[in-house]
Amino acid sequence: MADELLNASDLKEALENLPEWQLDEDKTGIQREFTFADFSQAFAFMTRVAMLAEKHDHHPEWQNSWDWVFIRLTTDDLGGVTEQDVDLALAIDELLD
């Protein structure tokens, strides 16, 4: 469980390691879009992300439309971005390596 919200400089530093992710409009989450070859590839990815979320005990807000997946990560308990969001985003990016 993350104990604190990241400050602006922590956020900036974290996002340097997450070049495909953006801070959302109100700076309470980080988000990224993914496009796959087809629905089954997108859903396979979502299944793997779901397993990661359970392992991290930290869960995404997400949308899927056919080959497209949108993921937003925020720490609901604190209403903003914490290290847990960053850690999960890094783990999600590793799925694509």
Ligand X SMILES: C[C@H](O)[C@H](O)[C@H]1CNC2=NC(N)=NC(=O)C2=N1
Give the gyration radius of the chain's Cα atoms. 13
> Do 70 and 60 form a contact (C-beta atoms < 8 A)?
no
The residues pairing with 71 across neighbouring beta strands, listed in sequence order, are: 32, 62
Q: How far is the CB of 37 from ligand X (least distance, A)?
A: 28
Can you tell me which of 6, 14, 36, 75 binds ligand X, judged by CB under 6 A? 75
The single residue among 18, 52, 58, 81 that binds ligand X, judged by CB under 6 A, is 58
Distance of CA 78 to the CA centre of its chain: 16
* Contact flag: residue 1 with ligand X (CB under 6 A): yes
User: Which positions lie near ligand X, rule CB under 6 A?
Assistant: 1, 57-59, 74-77
